[in-house]
Structure 1
Amino acid sequence: MPFKKKKLMISAASIASFALIMTLTFGLLYTPAYAVSMDGEQLGVVSDTETAQRAMESAQAEVENAIGVSAVITDDISIGWTMASKNDLVSEEELTERLLEQVEEIREGYVLSVGGQAVGFSPDRETLDSMLDELSAPYQNESTKEVRFEPEVSIEYGHASTEIPDDPEQIYAALTANSVEAASYTVAAGDTFSEIAAGLDMRQRELSELNPSVDPDVLMIGDVLNIRRAVPFLAVVTVDEVTYTEPIPAPVEYVEDDSLYEGDSNVLSEGEEGENWIRAEVTYQNGTEIARTVLEAVVQKEPEKKVVATGTKERPATASKGTYIWPVDGTVTSSPGSRTLFGSTNYHSGLDIAVPYGTKVKAADGGTVSFAGWKGDYGNLVIITHDDGTQTYYAHNSNLLVSEGDSVYQGQAIAEAGSTGRSTGSHCHFEVRVNGEVQNPYDYL
């Protein structure tokens, strides 16, 4: 049976339905929108102008934060109405990022900051982390439990000015740089001007220029000097947990003894130090200890007390004080050592102090006169034996004012100066002897 073609009939209702379907489909796929462009290049399409405005404000704030100064990036931006596929709409965050990509003065990556100041940039974090590890490594050991930097260091992903260094060597140099600041130094016992300068890594001339009123040869304990010191831009702070032992001082017990003079003492028992086992946290800054906290202390050995007898007996004026005064006020014309006198060379065992004839010679310390009389080359001689056995000699006197066995006090006149015995002029010859051995009088006066 032959196939007959049918005529296709499209009714007005069908056409209307198709138009409605197309309209609904267009409405579902497309929406009124706003195209954001910069310098004629479309960056994205958003659903409303508020979204575009917020994106521009966010981008501008990010740029200003990155470069540290006020900036305007919206002058070349235009916003125009359009119809766009809903799939083509971008979020506020995405439009912000596209705007930032157009700013040549910034870049995106990892920013290294010290105390809130950006000092380095890298597209990868590992470069910056390795740099910090290299800085801290020399200050760490097996006891280190904490490492930090001062000022605080941070590495954050974000935008940074293109002026921030990105060369690793340049960044490392900035982190290890020192600045010089004014400071002061208080002179301590034993300090010398040259040693202070050397210890501060300064030249003596530089230290003198900072202290024009200070005589380098005359430093007094407690003097305050102006100095300069190097301060690191970045300091490595480490905390180590350590264990060690330390001595426990022996406690001292004092007992009164009426056989000793007031001010005198005698050790009856030396005692013995104890020992503590210590666990502590020690904080270092660039390897220098700045704090120590004891976490645990265990007594390993108890100390044994030291017993000291202290005198209660009233000290007589003639008792030795253990300190010595000059027997006369005059000029030293000869000191201990070899000298030539009357054409022969011999050893001079004391001080010759030139004074006028008849000058009163005083006891250098209290004690007992163990000799008073003529003694060969010494002429008229007085020997005083002090409480500890030390003896002082006073020779060449014109007249003696004490006798053997007398008790004398410090400063008492014991003789009058002269030139008796082997002598070349009026003076006082003064000696100090311990167990019969001649001492240097300068060590006692």
Structure 2
Amino acid sequence: MRIPNSLKNASLGFKSLVPVSTRPSLSKQFMKMKEALRHKALPLLLTASMILSLFTALSLLYTPAYAVNLEGQTLGVVADVSVYEQASASVQEALVRVLGASSEELDAAELSMTIADKDELATSEELTDSMLEQVDELQRGYVLYIDEEAVGFSASQETLQALLDEMKAPYQTENTISATFSEAVSIRYDYTALSTPSDPDTVRAKLTANREEAATYTVVQGDTFSEIAERFALWQNELRDLNPSVTPDQLSIGEVLIVKQAVPVLSVITVENSIYEEEIPAPIEYVDDNTLYIGDSRVVKSGSAGITNVEAEITYQNGVEKARSILSTTTKVEAITRIVARGTQKPPKTASKGTYIWPVNGKVTSTTGKRTLLGSTGYHSGLDIAVPYGTEVKASDGGTVTFSGWKGNYGNLVIITHDNGTQTYYAHNSELLVSKGDKVYQGQAIAKAGSTGRSTGSHCHFEVRVNGKTMNPYDYLQGETI
């Protein structure tokens, strides 16, 4: 057999590279090789070498593997059974997460041994995708999640992002620093159920809807503010925040209270940089004045408010301010101190308190307003409180008696002028117990009830006047009749 030139060259080259000092030790082996060639052993030696090289090359490119087959279709080839098991577990987990149930059909996949190109072996993630693609109830694309709930699907990430930007737009201004959502919002390339809406209008409707609707309650007789709050599992301050215009201790039958606010699917949180002017209240300095009663005061120097420039970051939720962080303040106009004199003199018993008690304890038979009496219609300027003849009539507040005597339709009348200028009238008395100029104290007996003047029975007619104008006594009287 002919010896290839390449092999000859290799032999020659090998020889030429051996140092002279080592040749004696190698000469025996080289002589054996020449002997083998001489006996035509080269073809066998060359064949074995080529097989070994081929086997080495194949082992570098190919490997024993497992083909994953389902209904006659190969879903992928994996290096190890554990890769399939990991992928199968991931598939079932994904199905439970997305569809709420696992699939027995995918568990019916068969594994068969094969030889595969190492570069074509599937990872567990790739096999997972291949298996999920066999599920008809799934679709794959960009999914919009709110708190990990799939609310929208699209083949375009930009379509979903545009809907989110549309939600933020109404709450953004030129001063907006950031706009985010209070809920966890994300767009991910993922599998989702076929029922996940993909129509932009449908997705928009879901985003703008309320997760929970508002609820109201109509007040009925016997209701109290605290009981209503407890009934709807609210703190009283929470119920007040929901109904800022409601007075808790003055509920009216038929009044409608909000007991739960609407909760939107998405709440937009914006932060704005704001620069504005703010009034600085004038500081107050108090000085003692022994010419004034304790509790009374007068302004010695009016003072004035200042102005400061404020830079702040304001946080809004759906356009409603939730927090304000002051970054800096700069005084533009200094505030001028207001000086107030405070009384140190102990007031006499007859000094006005500024509060008004009921003059008698009885039933109100006529209130302020239009009424008909003894066949004629007119305006009634006070309250008629029915009491037995001779009942003591008491001063509603301390002050000075500025009239005591007979006055036309009022009959026997007492007028008390209080320290703030307000006047109270007590009419139709059978007897007067005070005279003009007397100082009286709150609760002091000033007359006895009767039916003098234009009257239909024993009672006390009570009026409150401010600057000569008749007021509604109910706006001044405290508590129930005494």
* TM-score, L = length of structure 1: 0.76
Q: Aligned partners of 1:162 and 1:422: how far apart in 2?
A: 86
Q: Contact (CA 8 Å) 2:75, 2:130: kept in 1 or not?
A: no
Match of 1:406 in 2: 438
Aligned match of 1:63 in 65, 75, 91? Answer: 91
**Counterpart residue identity of residue 384, structure 1:** I
SS in 1 for 2:397: coil
Q: Deviations over 1:211-254 (max 9, x none)?
A: xxxx961889xxxx893443233332222222222222222222
| CA displacement at 1:34 relative to structure 2 | 1.8
My pick for the range that moved more, 323-332 or 168-177, is 168-177
| In the alignment, structure 1 residue 256 sits paired with structure 2 residue 288 | yes
In structure 1, the residue matched to 2:219 is none
Task: Tell me the distance in 1 between the aligned counterparts of 2:2 and 2:430.
Answer: 164
Equivalent position amino acid for 1:301 in 2 = V
Show the counterpart of 1:307. 339
| The 10-residue stretch of structure 1 (16-25 or 255-264) with the greater mean CA deviation from structure 2 | 16-25
How far residue 92 of structure 1 moved from its aligned partner, in angstroms, is 4.9
* 3-state SS of 1:155 partner: strand
Aligned partner of 1:431 among 429, 448, 463: 463
Corresponding residue of 1:297: 329
Matches within 5 A, 1:295-444: 295-337=327-369, 348-444=380-476
Deviation of 1:422 (Å): 4.1
Q: Which amino acid aligns with 2:196?
A: P
Question: In the alignment, what sits opposite 2:253?
Answer: 217
Structure-1 residue corresponding to 2:11: none
**1:53-83 CA-partner distances (Å, limit 9, x unpaired):** 343244224423432366675643324254x
**Residue matched to 1:160:** 191
Q: 1:100: which partner in 2? A: 129
Task: Please state how far the C-alpha of 1:121 moved relative to its aligned partner.
Answer: 4.2
Residue 360 of structure 1 and its aligned partner are, at CA, apart by: 1.6
Cα distance in 2 for partners of 1:152, 1:293 equals 24
Counterpart in the other structure of 1:90: 119
CA distance in structure 2 between the aligned counterparts of 1:351 and 1:444, rounded to whole angstroms = 12
**Structure 2 contact 313–327 (Cα < 8 Å) conserved:** yes
Between Structure 1 and Structure 2, the one with more helix by share is 2
Aligned equivalents of 2:247 and 2:353: distance in 1? 32
CA positional deviation for 1:112? 3.3
Identity in percent: 50
Aligned ranges 1:88-167 → 2 under 5 Å: 88-90=117-119, 92-93=121-122, 97-98=126-127, 100-103=129-132, 104-105=134-135, 108-157=140-189, 159-163=190-194, 165=196, 167=198
Q: Which sections of structure 2, spanning at least 5 residues, go unmatched? A: 5-38, 214-231, 478-482
Structure-to-structure mapping, 1:188-227, within 5 angstroms: 190-191=245-246, 217=253, 227=259
For residue 20 of structure 2, what is the aligned residue in structure 1?
A: none
Residue of structure 1 equivalent to 2:216:
none
Please state which structure has a larger fraction of its residues in strand: 1
Matched residue of 1:186: which SS? helix
**Mapped partners of 1:388, 1:259: distance in 2:** 17
| Residues 304 and 402 (structure 1), Cα distance of their counterparts in 2 relative to 1, 3 Å cut | same
Q: What is residue 34 of structure 1 aligned with on the other side?
A: 64
Q: Distance in 2 between matches of 1:100 and 1:23?
A: 40
Residue 211 of structure 1 corresponds to none
**Can you list the C-alpha shifts for 1:140-183, whole angstroms capped at 9, x where unaligned?**
222222222233223334x5244462624454444444333876
Q: Which amino acid aligns with 1:186?
A: L
Contact kept in structure 2, 1:119 and 1:164, CA below 8 Å: no
Distance 1:410 1:161 in 2: 79
From 273, 278, 281, give the equivalent of 1:246.
Answer: 278
- Partner SS for 1:309: strand
Give per-residue Cα distances to partners, 1:226-284, cap 9 Å, x unaligned. 93443233332222222222222222222221111111122223322222222222222
Match of 1:279 among 305, 311, 322: 311
Per-residue CA deviation, residues 283-331 of structure 1 (Å, 9 max, x unaligned), is 2223332222222222222222222222111111111222222322334
Indicate if the aligned counterparts of 1:110 and 1:122 stay in contact, CA closer than 8 A: yes
1:312-362 CA-to-partner distances (Å, cap 9, x unmatched) read 111111112222223223344444556666666665544443332222222
CA contact (8 A) 2:66 2:114 kept: no
Q: Which AA in structure 1 matches 2:320? A: T
SS of aligned partner of 1:101: helix
The one-letter amino acid of 2:119's match is V
2:421 & 2:252 partners in 1: Cα distance? 42
Quickly say closer, same or farther: Cα 1:22–1:306, change in 2 above 3 A. Answer: same
The answer to whether the aligner puts 1:186 opposite 2:239 as a matched pair is yes
Q: CA deviation at 1:413?
A: 1.3
Alignment partner, residue 266 of structure 1: 298
Identify the range of structure 1 (19-28 vs 402-411) with the bigger mean alpha-carbon deviation: 19-28
Structure 2 Cα separation of the partners of residues 442 and 141 of structure 1? 49
The verdict on how the C-alpha distance between 1:282 and 1:421 changes in structure 2, with shifts beyond 3 A counting, is closer
CA contact (8 A) 1:327 1:363 kept: yes
Q: After TM superposition, give the deviation of residue 429 of structure 1 in Å.
A: 3.2
What secondary structure sits across from 2:350 in the alignment? coil
Which secondary structure does the structure 1 equivalent of 2:323 belong to? strand
Q: What is the alpha-carbon distance in structure 2 between the residues aligned to residue 255 and residue 131 of structure 1?
A: 64
Cα distance in 1, alignment partners of residues 302 and 320 from structure 2: 36
